[in-house]
Amino acid sequence: MDKLSTRNLTILISLALATAVSGIDIFFEASWQHFAIIFTTVFILSSLLMYYVVDIYLRNRIKLVYKIIHQFKLSKSLKESIGDTLGDDPLTEMETQVKDYVMNNRKELDDLRKLEQFRKEFLGNLSHELKTPLFNIQGYVHTLLEGAMDDPKVSKQFLERTSKSIDRLSNLVDDLDAISRLERGEESVHKESFDIHQLVRDVFDSMELKAHQKNFSLHIKKDSDKPFFVNADKEKIRQVITNLVDNSIKYGNQDGLASAGFYDMDENILIEITDNGIGIPEEHLPRLFERFYRVDKHRSREQGGTGLGLAIVKHVIEAHHQTINVRSTVGVGTTFAFTLQKSKEK
């Protein structure tokens, strides 16, 4: 049965009472005129009585509840969710508004739980990232102070390891500072027109030695080996390309390869960096751009990364009001794709 308003409910109850009383009158063989008078009188009186009880008394009680809610509201969302005025059907309206508030509040609670979980993971990861190089530095320095510095060979070896750990700490602090400025919007974007094809070639050249150590090949796809001009912050995009290519080399296979492709998308240029590495399991893809998120924690730390590279990449692209995504198949490879605003040639 559909929901009834208080007014309809009053009419139905009054009709029922009038019919019942009039039915008794007919039972005693009263005239139809007498029946009509009794029916009308009972109906009017019961309607007035029921209207007072159901519509006026109940409405005033609900208004009091509303007033209490607004006086002791817990948040702005509560005030916006539950209105100050009531219509003709206060029970239905109150039920609807309370349900809406509960649903909205549930979503807010779910979001808060996710943020809390993210905060805990972030603090735990940050603690681990800081603790590892600090623990190494502490061990090396104490060992040197305990007499190892008297051996030139050992002291040099330990100082070199200490230097690497300090560099790792320095990189971590730099990346944390960069991502904090990007998130706060303090890192300005200085756009200029440049050839993204040539920029990728420059990055490939700068990473040639690192790629050569793994016999790793870097090349631009045949159909993309021509100028593609974009309007963007050249140095920040260089950082993006460097990070993506560096990941392809670090986590790619021996004798592997990475390729770059450029595609005209009307107002934008689509840039893709593809490798034939080990690939990333599908369940990791949604979280890949989170700070400190690692698919293989042990292997990632061995490679010396800070765990913030892809988070910085995502923030740089979003600062350009563009998007980046990733697709990957385990055992086949990974492709990172992002867009940049197209620019006319100089």
180/235 same-domain check: no
Residue 1 lies inside a defined structural domain of this protein: no
292/218 same-domain check: yes
Residue 174 lies inside a defined structural domain of this protein: yes
Residue 42 lies inside a defined structural domain of this protein: yes
Residue 98 lies inside a defined structural domain of this protein: yes
171/243 same-domain check: no
pLDDT score for 257: 92
Residue 103 lies inside a defined structural domain of this protein: yes
331/217 same-domain check: yes
Residue 70 lies inside a defined structural domain of this protein: yes
284/222 same-domain check: yes
267 pLDDT more than 70? yes
Taken as a whole, the chain contains a residue count of: 346
Q: Which residue has the tokens 């197209």?
A: 342
Which CATH number characterizes residue 256's domain?
3.30.565.10
Of 217, 223, 226, whose CA–CA distance to 197 is shortest?
226
Say how many C-beta atoms besides its own lie within 10 A of residue 23's C-beta. Answer: 12
206/337 same-domain check: yes
pLDDT digits (tens, 9 = 90+) for 98-155: 666 667 767 777 766 766 666 666 666 667 677 777 888 888 888 888 887 788 888 8
pLDDT digits (tens, 9 = 90+) for 38-93: 667 666 666 666 666 666 666 666 666 666 555 555 444 444 544 455 555 555 66
- Among residues 107, 123, 146, the one where a domain terminates is 107
Q: Per mean pLDDT, which of 69-73, 99-103, 263-267, 303-307 is the most reliable?
A: 263-267
pLDDT score for 234: 94
Integer Cα distance of 245 and 238 in angstroms? 11
Strand partners, 330: none
Burial 116-147 (b: 16+ CB within 10 A, else e): eeeeeeeeebbeebeeebeebbeebeeebeee
Integer Cα distance of 262 and 342 in angstroms? 11
- Among residues 107, 135, 156, the one where a domain terminates is 107
> Confidence class of residue 197 from pLDDT cuts 50, 70 and 90?
very high
Of 90, 89, 71, 87, whose CA–CA distance to 79 is shortest?
71
Give the chain's mean pLDDT. 76
As for how many domains the chain has, the answer is 3
Pairing of strands 333-341, 324-329: antiparallel
- What does DSSP assign to residue 307? S
Of 167, 173, 333, 338, whose CA–CA distance to 241 is shortest?
338
Residue 321 lies inside a defined structural domain of this protein: yes
198/323 same-domain check: yes
Backbone angles phi, psi at 263, to 5 degrees: -140, 130
Backbone angles phi, psi at 41, to 5 degrees: -65, -45
Integer Cα distance of 6 and 83 in angstroms? 19
- Among residues 107, 135, 162, the one where a domain terminates is 107
236/333 same-domain check: yes
**Residues 6+ positions from 103 with CB-CB distance below 8 Å:** none
67/18 same-domain check: yes
CB 289 within 8 A of CB 243: no
300/249 same-domain check: yes
Integer Cα distance of 293 and 286 in angstroms? 11
Q: Is the pTM of this model over 0.75?
A: no
Q: Find the domain containing 148 and state its range.
A: 115-184
Residue 346 lies inside a defined structural domain of this protein: no
264/289 same-domain check: yes
119/224 same-domain check: no
